[in-house]
Amino acid sequence: MSHSIKLFIAILIIILLSFACSDDDNTPDPIPAGWERITSPTGYKSLTDIEFLNKDFGVICGAEGTVLKTENGGLEWQAVNYGNNYVSYKVFVLNENEFYLGRNGLYKTNNGGYSYEELGELSNIASTIFEIIFFDTKNGLIYKSGRVRKTNDGGLNWEEVYEGGFCNKMKFVSNEIGYLAGGASWDGMSYGILHKTIDGGNTWTNIGDIKEVYEWEIMSMDFITNDIGYITNFNKEFFITQDGGVSWNLLSDSLPRIFSGIVFLSQDEGYGLSSRSVFKTIDGGISWKEDHTDSSMIFSAITKTPDEKIFVVGNGGVILRKE
């Protein structure tokens, strides 16, 4: 074989390898108009949840003790100390000094994230803290191990007030009215659950008894008023209620993906999150169009700010912001 042929084969192999590598290099896809990718100060550590207190102040939690906060509407983020290497699953922001992180245990900071204390003995109870809600420094709720637990002494002690089953989403529209949703899917089987409180979480009622609605696990939920709310399920269906969950109207039976999160800015405009894409509706959920996708990422959480900006976080330290 001549030298020129060997050289040609070598070059061809390099070109083919370069194409193969380009498919697996996790290079982020181009950002579409309206979206901005924000640099994470902790690099590629995966991010699991995000919440904003107001249009300026927000907190992100994630892997290996990652806690980030912003004071300028998410344009810049700074890392603050957690004190351990646990993955925090949920964050709740009470004010700029006091916020909470949850996984097996519940941790609180009183100084804007620079030090934390563990509240109660929740880490001794198996399973993840899926939701955290505090109405003030003393009174709060968590959802853990299939139960709503309530504190009135700042988290030192917790009382089990309701058994809700396989739920992992809790949304309070006011200090009195809240919803708890979830269900389970396995081996081709699925079912949904929805509970409601009208007294701040002291008592709850199972309102998930409409077979056509709760035949499938509820995968995402949002309420924009005490009565107007939305759910999506494992069967890619989208429902709206206008009477606080008493009745539901099916608006779409063919969502483009299973949504892990939804947020609505108005009764017409909303966003749905799948593992690699964000979808948008402008007709109240009847139709959805892909607004942003990134094949190199896995998205984990979506939220909105009071001034109607959308944020998405996920693995690889991705932080996306949309005006």
Structure confidence at residue 26 (pLDDT):
54
Structure confidence at residue 85 (pLDDT):
77
Write out the two tokens for 118. 């563990």
Q: Quick check: 311 pLDDT over 90?
A: yes
End-to-end CA distance of the chain: 61
What number is the average pLDDT over the span 130-134?
97
Q: Quick check: 5 pLDDT over 80?
A: no
Q: How far apart are CA 12 and CA 17, in angstroms?
A: 9
Report whether 142 contacts 180 (CB < 8 A).
Answer: no
What lies within 8 Å, CB to CB, of 126 at 6+ separation is: 104, 145
Structure confidence at residue 83 (pLDDT):
72
Q: How far apart are CA 11 and CA 6, in angstroms?
A: 9
**Residue 23: pLDDT band with limits 50, 70, 90:** very low
Structure confidence at residue 290 (pLDDT):
97
**Mean pLDDT estimate for the chain:** 90
Phi and psi torsions of 26, nearest 5°: 60, 25
Q: Quick check: 7 pLDDT over 50?
A: no
Q: Quick check: 6 pLDDT over 50?
A: no
Higher pLDDT pick, 279 / 18 = 279
Q: Quick check: 209 pLDDT over 90?
A: no
User: Which CATH number is 33-322's, of 3.40.109.10, 2.130.10.10, 1.10.3730.10, 3.30.70.2740?
Assistant: 2.130.10.10
What number is the average pLDDT over the span 288-300?
94
What lies within 8 Å, CB to CB, of 309 at 6+ separation is: 55, 73, 74, 321, 322, 323
**Which of these, 297, 263, 296, lies nearest to 280 by C-alpha position?**
263
- Three-class SS of 151-187: ECCCCCCCEEEEECCCEEEEEECCCCCEEEEEEEEEC
Residue pointed to by tokens 């035949």: 215
Q: Quick check: 177 pLDDT over 50?
A: yes
Write out the two tokens for 74. 């998410």
- 55-90 per-position pLDDT tens digit: 999 999 999 989 999 999 999 999 997 777 788 999
What lies within 8 Å, CB to CB, of 92 at 6+ separation is: 51, 99, 100, 102, 132, 133, 134
What number is the average pLDDT over the span 115-135?
93
**Residue 14: pLDDT band with limits 50, 70, 90:** very low
Write out the two tokens for 123. 């880490």
What number is the average pLDDT over the span 292-317?
95
Q: Quick check: 28 pLDDT over 90?
A: no
Phi and psi torsions of 205, nearest 5°: -130, 135
Q: Which CA distances in Å does 202 have to 6, 115, 149, 205, 277?
A: 78, 31, 9, 11, 37
Where do the domains of the chain lie? 33-322
Write out the two tokens for 319. 């932080």
**Percent of the residues in the chain that have a pLDDT greater than 90, as a whole number:** 79
